[in-house]
């Protein structure tokens, strides 16, 4: 996954990819130091139907937050970390990264 590779270049360790928790999926769980990132990745082959970042709706955010809470409950060794939610949009090879998206 290209998004995971980009995080690795920035010094993050990938803890999980495409993890299903509580009926919802988390695309990436990453850690660097005391920062824990839950990342939603959206990709589209072209620009005909809008930006992939627009696909992360309020409902999708709620689901990701719920899945993150479940992940943290199952992985208490990361409980002291600062949590951040990122979104990565990939369109025709272009990558847009939004830190602290919500």
User: Strand pairing partners for 20?
Assistant: 25
Q: Where are the domains of the chain?
A: 2-98
Q: What is the rounded distance in angstroms from the CA atom of residue 82 to the CA atom of residue 54?
A: 25
Is pTM beyond 0.85? Reply is: yes
Is pLDDT at 50 greater than 70 in this prediction?
no
What's the pLDDT band for 19 if we cut at 50, 70, 90?
A: very high
Count other Cβ atoms within 10 Å, centred on residue 19.
17
Identify the band that residue 8 occupies on the pLDDT scale cut at 50, 70 and 90: very high
Q: Are 31 and 13 in contact (CB under 8 A)?
A: yes
CATH architecture of structural domain 2-98: 3-Layer(aba) Sandwich (3.40)
Q: What is the pLDDT of residue 75?
A: 97
**pLDDT tens-digit map of 67-90:** 999 999 999 999 999 999 999 988
Q: What is the pLDDT of residue 46?
A: 62
d(CA 11, CA 18): 20
């Amino acid at each position: 996954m290209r998004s995971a590779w980009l995080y690795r270049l920035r010094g993050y360790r990938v803890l999980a990819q495409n993890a299903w928790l509580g009926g919802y999926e988390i695309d990436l769980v990453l850690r660097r130091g005391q920062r824990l990132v839950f990342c939603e990745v959206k990709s589209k082959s072209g620009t005909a139907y809008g930006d992939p970042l627009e696909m992360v709706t309020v409902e999708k955010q709620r689901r990701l937050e719920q899945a993150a809470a479940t992940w943290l409950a199952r992985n208490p060794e990361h409980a002291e970390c600062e949590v951040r939610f990122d979104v990565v949009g990939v369109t025709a090879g272009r990558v847009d990264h939004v830190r602290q998206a919500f």
